[in-house]
Amino acid sequence: MNYATIGPISVYLPEKCETVDDLKKEHPEWELDEICAKTGVYARYISAPDEFASDMAVKAAEKLLKEHQIPRESIDFVLLCTQSPDYPIPTTACLVQHRLGLRIDCGALDFNLGCSGYVYGLSLADGLIRSGVARRVLFITSETYTKYIDAGDRSLRTIFGDAATATLLEASETQSLGPFLFGTDGEGADALIAYGRGIRPESLSLKPRHRRRWASSLYMDGAELMRFTNSKIPPLVALLLEKAGSTMEEIDIFLMHQATRKMLESLTVTLGLSPEKVPIQLERCGNTVSSSIPILITNLRNEGGLRHNQRAMLLGFGVGLSWGGALWNDVWNPNR
């Protein structure tokens, strides 16, 4: 049987970078030093007005294909994780397949997940490869959350940034990914929700009592997300270790969705981990939703922070409410 292995990853960040100094000039009343100390975010990238999920996805994928000399005809399937698609119809992955010049017998699929999306996508790719449907899967994350956020919305504008990543997953006789575990609690769907962007009008939405101060279509209950993370992720970690027959001490590094510094530090304490095992890298591009874990992996690879024979645990959690975890054995670093 073949299994999926994580190969090279490429990252695309939009041209415009908005720093905390830029925000201080625009909003001197925002107490940004205090905010940044909590979020860990000091810069974010903003997609251009005419730049959308498919554009960023193509740029990330082109970078991957060219830098790593991957033949386009070798791609059997495209997975695209996005919550800001170009259109409700058609599937954005179909647009990406065409613009990349991939084979017409290549599968293409969007899936709508945010903070847990990278772990879900790895599982989907692993299933495609294990079943024999594909040998090479191009897994893309592309998010333009900033288009949902009003310029005056302090709580959201200081956290979220735009980004896209492309990951190559290939067939291997050695299992390096798994086990996987997932969880869902739709009762908390309104903790992070974009109103008025689908078919359902806001007047008929989950909780129309939400009255946002700004014109952002995105609403976030940060306190509820913090509570959710600290209550759901520790049991997930314990179950994942039990399923793998491993212990906490055998995991070398925990690669978590980069939500906010405060949330990650709180979760680190709740799990009883040393901070050295939980890298936090929000300062350069903020919370990039499904792109945050592959960006973290890329940064660590470039900095020598991932080594052969390491065991990593990947954890995604947030909007949905949705969460997922996976073990990644013998972390491979193509930049070694």
H or E, element range at 11: strand 3-12
H or E, element range at 165: strand 163-172
User: How does pLDDT run across 282-313, given as a tens digit for each residue?
Assistant: 999 999 999 999 999 999 999 988 888 899 99
Catalytic residue among 36, 106, 285, 287: 287
Average pLDDT, the chain: 93
- What is the DSSP-derived secondary structure letter of residue 332? -
Whether 287 is catalytic is yes
Whether 230 is catalytic is no
User: How does pLDDT run across 81-127, given as a tens digit for each residue?
Assistant: 999 999 999 999 999 999 999 999 999 999 999 999 999 999 999 99
Predicted TM-score (pTM) of the model is 0.94
* Mean pLDDT for the stretch of residues 185-189: 94
User: How does pLDDT run across 230-271, given as a tens digit for each residue?
Assistant: 999 999 999 999 999 999 999 999 999 999 999 999 999 999
Domains along the chain with CATH numbers: 3-174 (3.40.47.10), 179-329 (3.40.47.10)
What is the Cα 36 distance to its own chain's centre? 21
- C-alpha 161/C-alpha 259 separation (Å) is 11
Whether 115 is catalytic is yes
Catalytic residue among 94, 115, 230, 333: 115
- What is the DSSP-derived secondary structure letter of residue 160? B
- Return contacts of 261-265, CB within 8 angstroms, 24+ apart: 261/37, 261/38, 261/39, 261/40, 261/41, 262/38, 262/39, 262/40, 262/226, 263/225, 263/226, 263/229, 264/40
pLDDT tops 90 at residue 151 = no
Where residue 336 falls among pLDDT bands split at 50, 70, 90? very low
pLDDT of residue 201: 72
Where residue 214 falls among pLDDT bands split at 50, 70, 90? very low
